Amino acid sequence: MISKHKGKLIVIEGGDGSGKTTQSELLLSYLQKQGIPHSGLDFPQYESFYGQIVAQFLRGEFGKLNDVSPYLAALTFALDRYAIRDQIINKLENKEIIVANRYVTSNMAHQGSKFSDSIKRNTFIRWLEKLEYDVHKLPRENLVIYLKVPTQITKRLTGMKKTREYLNGKHDIQEQDRQHRNTTEIMYNILSQQYKHWITIDCFQNGTMISKDTIHKNIVQTLIKKGIVK
């Protein structure tokens, strides 16, 4: 079930290093130029109480990646969103288009990827949807734009990122784990086929990354086709 609020919630998704931040910023700039009421969100919110716990997890302070139950990891990421649920709802009620760099869908992909058994994975996804959408009552997203980039490319792009404060000079255990990157890419592909409101943009074509401007144009065209913008 998709959000029934007056505004629209657009999620930019993809693996680490796929260009989510860049495309979120370009889309927000487009909405600004069009005079469309809008807001941007980035998850996790590392400056928040729960976001700081997420940062500890990503720095490996609670153990190695697979030492932490995906249920417990997912709960922390979910609480980070729950903390600003009312703000999100208010923005949607004010007819804003919200562009979210990650959302519930990231939790599905990153934590769901830790289950090799499809039955256990599906059980987890159902639990997560109940937690975030039903218990926490977060608005459901209207559209997910999945930036599809092969892991061998995203690994190189991630290595080019600037130093991030939340890591305190350490590595992000999810980004550094090759198996996790691979299984998360598979999980994103599964989700993109499973949900009708997911749109995949293939950012790597003919052996090369297409330009950020071309990707942006594809996103805008998608929003036009969906009737979200004119």
Q: What is the DSSP-derived secondary structure letter of residue 68?
A: S
* Residue 67, in any domain of the structure: yes
| Contact (CB, 8 A) for 85 and 200 | no
Long-range contact pairs involving 62-70 (C-beta distance under 8 Å, separation at least 24) = 64/173, 65/173, 65/174, 65/177, 65/180, 66/114, 70/111, 70/112, 70/114, 70/115, 70/124
* Residue 3, in any domain of the structure: no
Mean pLDDT rounded to a whole number for the chain: 92
For residue 3, pLDDT beyond 60: no
CATH number for the domain that contains residue 99: 3.40.50.300
Beta bridge partners of 98: 9, 39
Nearby residues of 193 by Cβ (< 8 Å), 6 or more positions away: none
* Residue 2, in any domain of the structure: no
Confidence of residue 163 (pLDDT cuts 50, 70, 90): low
For residue 155, pLDDT beyond 80: no
* Residue 230, in any domain of the structure: no
Mean pLDDT for the stretch of residues 146-175? 74
Residue 140's SS3 state is coil
* Residue 126, in any domain of the structure: yes
- Residue 160 confidence (pLDDT): 57
* CA angle, residues 72, 78, 79, in degrees to nearest 5: 95
For residue 102, pLDDT beyond 90: yes
Mean pLDDT for the stretch of residues 142-167? 77
pTM greater than the 0.75 cutoff: yes
Helix (H) or strand (E) holding 72: helix 70-82
Confidence of residue 133 (pLDDT cuts 50, 70, 90): very high
- Residue 221 confidence (pLDDT): 98
DSSP letters, 146-158, are EEE--HHHHHHHH
C-alpha distances (whole Å) from 66 to each of 57, 122, 180, 196 are 11, 19, 9, 31
Torsion over CA: 79, 80, 81, 85 (sign): positive
Round to whole Å and give the CA distance between 66 and 49: 23
* Residue 32, in any domain of the structure: yes
Count of domains forming the chain: 1
Round to whole Å and give the CA distance between 92 and 70: 30
Structural domain boundaries enclosing 85: 8-225
* Residue 1, in any domain of the structure: no
